[in-house]
Amino acid sequence: MKLWWLPLTLMIALMLNSVARAAGPDLAAAKDNYMTFCVKCHGPTGQGNGPAAATLHTKPRNYTDCALMAKIPDATLFKAIKNGGASVGLSPEMPAWSQAFDDQEIQGLVAFVRSFCHK
C-alpha cells in the first residue's frame, strides 16, 4: 500500500499549526491561567484588589487604569510576568512565572491583561 499522501498530510498539519500560532494568543487559555494564578492579587476584574492584595506591601497593578496601561509596553508586561516585578523595576512581590508558563502563554496573559482596559 502506497502512503504518498502521508507527507502531504504532515505538511498541511504543520502549516495549520503555523497559521494558528500567527492568529494570536489563546485568550480562553489566558483567562484560565489568569483566574488560576493572577486573580489572587490582581482581582477578577483586574483592579489590583484580589484577596491577597491586602497582604502585600505594594498594591498590585490596576489593569483597568487605561491611562497608566497605555504607557506600559507589551514587552515590559511580558518581562514582568516572565521574570517578576523586580526585573522591570517594580515590586519584588510580583513573582516570576517563567517556570509555570511558556512564552506563548505569557503573551496570552499580556493580551488578556490588556482586555481589562475598556475605553
Please say whether the structural domain 26-114 has been given the CATH code 1.10.760.10: yes
Q: What does pLDDT average to over the chain?
A: 88
Instruction: Please give the pLDDT value at position 58.
Output: 95
pLDDT tens-digit readout, 21-34: 556 889 999 999 99
Three-state secondary structure along the chain? CCCCHHHHHHHHHHHHHHHHHHCCCCHHHHHHHHHHHHHHHHCCCCCCCCCCHHHCCCCCCCCCCHHHHHCCCHHHHHHHHHHCHHHHCCCCCCCCCCCCCCHHHHHHHHHHHHCCCCC
pLDDT tens-digit readout, 40-73: 999 999 999 999 999 999 999 999 999 999 999 9
Instruction: Check pLDDT > 80 for residue 18.
Output: no
pTM: predicted TM-score of the whole model, two decimal places: 0.79
